[in-house]
Amino acid sequence: MLRVLLLATTTGYQTRSFGEAAERVGIKLVFATDRCHVLDDPWQDQAIPIHFHDELASVAAVLDVARNQPIDGVLAVGDRPTVIAARVAEALGLPGHPPDAAAIARNKELMRDCLRAAGLPAPAFIRTPITANPAWLLSQVSFPCVVKPVALSGSRGVMRADNPRELAAAFDRLRALLESPDIRAERSDAHQTALVERFIPGREYAVEALLHHGALHVLAIFDKPDPLDGPFFEETIYVTPSSSPPGVQDAIVQTVTDAVRAIGLRHGPIHAECRVNDEGVFVLEIAARPIGGLCARALRFDADPARQASGPARLPPPESPITLEELLLRHAVGDAPARYARESSASGVMMIPIPRRGVLRRVDGIDAARRVTHTVDVRVTAKPDQMLVPLPEGSSYLGFIFARASTPQTVERSLRNAHARLTFAIDAEFPVLRATQSRYNQGHG
Ligand code: ADP
Ligand code: CA
């Protein structure tokens, strides 16, 4: 049986989706996850315990296991383990992203330098220690600008400022976030630095793609129909196929291709985000990993029956449609992405926004939301009594709504209609709960 190494932050939804996909394909997953190795297999998944912040030791631990348990492919889920994945693939002689390229993709400062050096459209930016004096910053920037951390994701810590007062407030807020216990626990030097960039107006798109020995195979271009103008940048709706003119889509693919080449990414999944306006396509970032959370469920792929014969002989042929996770696993063991195309229907996901800070008591209307025409599923992932923290500090969603229909417009309407059926009972947090919460976070850091 072929074995794929999966590096993941926790045993979350995405890891479970990979588990299900692996069973369908007939691949054995070998997990490596970030955890404390004094606990003896606490998750009962025989995962290799590693520490993402200690990359060399993590690579060594994985290679040690790989000596007795040969590995045929490597995948990373989430931003943090992408460099370890690249190093492991390189050491095992498997195709993957070069470690240097993965390191650039994980760090917004390195990425900005790289894209600028390649002559690609990029916002003017400055880097600054998070301990800098905001008065100094003021002399360096123009407005509107965006303050952001170098190595977080999901728009965490990203804030727009339109004037000096907002810039000072945003900078203080980012410093407090980067100095919080759960972020300190990542032990990344990147969290000592912030970027302040020119705000790029325009429409935003996400590109999900697979690189195959250097060739870019686009899996989907997502429209983000809600304006993302700040002050915070909460993701909501993703819909594919894009309704933008073919010329815009071609320009997006061309610029992402150029950016991928500049960064040096070569083989494996990528997730890119772009802003488009009259000046061109601005690549905001390219991550060396697939789309996160449950969002992947908005994607399904059909295999082209005429091209079945070209795949790895050891795998059974796919039963269409297949999930993104199944496609990624097949690719990780050598299958060519050109055999697959996104299914023909339009599809979308809404990351359910957190309406306000507080303790989630109840979500009502889930069944009514599920009955909205073209709604495929409504998944509330926040747990009752969970503390909900909105952006810019928060790092989780309330849940996800999925819809599928013949046109992207219908998908978008269904997502909004389903969301309108939901009501959220959220209690103001009590000081005592806040204390418990922060202790909890420290204990798990
Ligand atoms: P993350 O990795 O946390 O997603 P990003 O750099 O992608 O961080 O920023 C998150 C969001 O913030 C983007 O999707 C975009 O909507 C907004 N944003 C970030 N930088 C800029 C910018 N320079 N101009 C306009 N919007 C921006
Ligand atoms: Ca992003």
pLDDT tens sequence across 101-153:
999 999 999 999 999 999 999 999 999 999 988 788 888 899 999 999 999 99
13-25 vs 324-332: helix crossing angle, rounded to 10: 60
Q: Would you state the structure tokens that stand for residue 394, as one six-digit string?
A: 């928060």
306 falls within a domain: no
Q: 359: number of CA atoms within 13 Å, CB side?
A: 13
pLDDT band at 444 (very low <50, low <70, confident <90, very high): very low
Query: What CATH number did the domain enclosing 352 receive?
Result: 3.90.1170.30
146 lines ligand 1 (CB under 6 A): yes
pLDDT for residue 306:
66
87 and 8 share a domain?
A: yes
Ligand nearest to the CA of 204: 1
Distance 159 CA to ligand 2 centre (A): 13
Asked whether 135 and 219 are in contact (CB, 8 A), the reply is: no
- What pLDDT does 133 receive? 86
CATH label of the domain that carries residue 159:
3.30.1490.20
In a domain, 300, yes or no: no
Q: CA quadruple 30, 36, 38, 44: dihedral positive or negative? A: negative
Helix (H) / strand (E) element for 127: namely strand 125-129
How many distinct helices (H) and strands (E) make up the chain? 13, 22
Share of the chain above pLDDT 90, in %: 81
Q: Which whole-number Å values give the CA distances from 319 to 25, 210, 218, 333, 341, in the listed order?
A: 9, 20, 21, 17, 14
- Rounded to 5°, angle at Cα 356 from 351 and 361: 85
- DSSP assignment, residue 192? G
First to last CA, the chain: 36
Q: Which one is predicted more confidently, 186 or 118?
A: 118
At residue 442, does pLDDT exceed 80?
no
In a domain, 355, yes or no: yes
User: Can you list the alpha helix ranges (DSSP code H) found in 13-94?
Assistant: 13-25, 55-68, 82-92
d(CA 138, CA 133): 9
Mutation choice for ligand 1 from 107, 116, 148, 199, CB with most ligand atoms inside 8 A? 148
Determine whether the shortest distance from the Cβ of 204 to ligand 1 is under 6 A.
yes
Question: Highest mean pLDDT: which of 47-56, 187-196, 404-413?
Answer: 404-413
User: Tell me, what's the pLDDT at 434?
Assistant: 53
Question: Which domain-ending residue is among 96, 115, 133?
Answer: 96
- 23 in any annotated domain: yes
Measure 378 CA to ligand 1 centroid, in angstroms.
26
Ligand 1 centroid from CA 284, angstroms: 6
User: What pLDDT, on a 0 to 100 scale, did the predictor assign at position 13?
Assistant: 82
Number of domains in the chain: 3
Which CATH number characterizes residue 31's domain?
3.40.50.20
Whether 20 and 84 map to the same domain: the answer is yes
Report residue 443's pLDDT band, with 50, 70 and 90 as the boundaries.
very low
| Domain stops at, among 146, 163, 198 | 198
> By residue range, what is the domain housing residue 178?
124-198
Compute the distance between CA of residue 342 and CA of residue 210 in angstroms, rounded to an integer: 13
pLDDT value of position 193: 95
Q: What is the mean pLDDT of residues 1-23?
A: 89
Kindly report which listed range (45-59, 109-123, 223-237, 287-301) carries the lowest average pLDDT score: 45-59
Q: Do 144 and 88 share a structural domain?
A: no
Please, which pLDDT band fits residue 313 given cuts at 50, 70 and 90? low
Residue with tokens 């995405």: 14
Average pLDDT, the chain: 91
Domain-located, residue 377:
yes
Q: What does DSSP assign to residue 444? A: T
Q: At which of 133, 168, 198 does a domain end?
A: 198
In a domain, 231, yes or no: no
pTM for this structure?
0.93
129 and 80 fall within a common domain: no
On whether both 82 and 130 belong to a single domain, the answer is: no
Q: Are residues 83 and 11 in the same domain?
A: yes
Q: Is the CB of 273 under 6 A from ligand 1?
A: yes
> Do the Cβ atoms of 128 and 193 come closer than 8 Å?
yes
pLDDT of amino acid 317: 81
pLDDT at 315: 80
Contact 256, 271 (CB under 8 A): no
**Tens digit of each residue's pLDDT (9 = 90 or more) over 35-83:** 754 455 555 567 899 999 999 999 999 999 999 999 999 999 999 999 9
Each residue's pLDDT tens digit, 369-381: 999 999 999 999 9
Structural domain contains residue 228? no
The pLDDT of residue 224 is 98
Largest CA distance in the chain: 64
Question: Percent of the chain scored above 70 by pLDDT?
Answer: 92
Q: And the tokens for 350?
A: 């809404």
CA 199 to ligand 1: nearest atom: 24
Per-residue model confidence (pLDDT) at position 307: 66
pLDDT band at 196 (very low <50, low <70, confident <90, very high): very high
Decide: residue 313, CB within 10 A, 0-12 exposed, 13-18 middle, 19+ buried: exposed
- 41: in domain: yes
32 lines ligand 1 (CB under 6 A): no
- Point out the least confidently predicted range of 70-74, 276-280, 303-307: 303-307
Q: Which ligand is in closest contact with the Cα of 226? A: 1
